[in-house]
Amino acid sequence: MKTEVINLSHVWAKYNHRNPILEDINLTIYEGDFVGLIGPNGGGKTTLFKVLLGLIKPYQGTVKILGNTVSKGRRYIGYVPQLVELDREFPVRVADVVRMGRLGKRRLLQRYTPQDEIIVNRTLEQVGMIELRNRPIAELSGGQRQRVYIARALASEPRILLLDEPTASVDPQRQTSIYELLKELNQLITIVMISHDIGAISAYVKTVGCLNHRLFFHGDPPLSTETIEQTYQCPVDLIAHGVPHRVLSNHDCPLHYHE
């Protein structure tokens, strides 16, 4: 019997006095799963991650992480935010960034230990970046930096990895290598990934969640046109180009879904 790692039951969440962002979310994720979440901007995908990380408290419903409350269970979660531009003059090296993932495992102002260094090197090897451990991170490509940020999350020794648009700012030629890395890591860790890349959702994940305030669908790929239209609540144009499927962000209806 599979171990349940995340359970949301009738979860409602919102920001301050605004309308609900998440409406009656019911979701169960099991150990070893690779879940892809798609949906329009503002539909609640990142909000769902914030709920799991304890940054937003639902005003209704329950959230369990490995059977624990969020405050206790979030220590089992590693988080990789969207790739953002950094200050090119900031003098931080690859190993320094990954070492930050160990901060939650030690007391305030405690020195890093030899065990911390072993874990830093191990995670850099996992993501194929060990040879660049002393390189300034500002000198890396977008794909290389994303691998470093994944290593930083892995350095906390999580059982669950959350990724928010892991290839959004990565060169298209590098995206496949990131997805192949995640597929490999999924042999050891449960992954939940937000993405607008339908090709990645169809090719790499094991289960799919379509989220637009409500969770419209949760099950095995492939995705149907009807499911996508239900999620985005507008027509979807299917255009065959022979390139990876992609839902383009920042679009008003009708949405163009390239196939």
Positions in the chain whose pLDDT score sits under 70: 84-88, 106-109, 217-259
Apex 230 CA angle, 225 and 234, nearest 5: 90
Residue 242, pLDDT score: 38
Residue 76, pLDDT score: 95
SS3 content of the chain, % helix, strand, coil (to 5): 35, 25, 40
Beta carbons within 8 Å of 224's beta carbon, 6+ residues apart? none
Residues 164 and 155: their CA atoms lie apart, in Å, by: 18
Which pTM was predicted? Answer: 0.83
Q: How far is it between the farthest Cα atoms of the chain?
A: 56
* Token duo for residue 212: 């637009």
Residue 24, pLDDT score: 96
Apex 127 CA angle, 242 and 28, nearest 5: 75
- Report all structural domains of the chain as residue ranges with CATH numbers, in order of start: 4-83+159-258 (3.40.50.300)
Please state at what angle helix 114-126 crosses helix 142-154, rounded to 10 degrees: 130
Query: Position of tokens 């690859």?
Result: 94
Residue 250, pLDDT score: 38
133 near 124, Cβ under 8 Å?
Answer: yes
DSSP state letters, 132-172: GTTSBGGGS-HHHHHHHHHHHHHTT--SEEEEESTTTTS-H
Residues 113 and 50: their CA atoms lie apart, in Å, by: 30
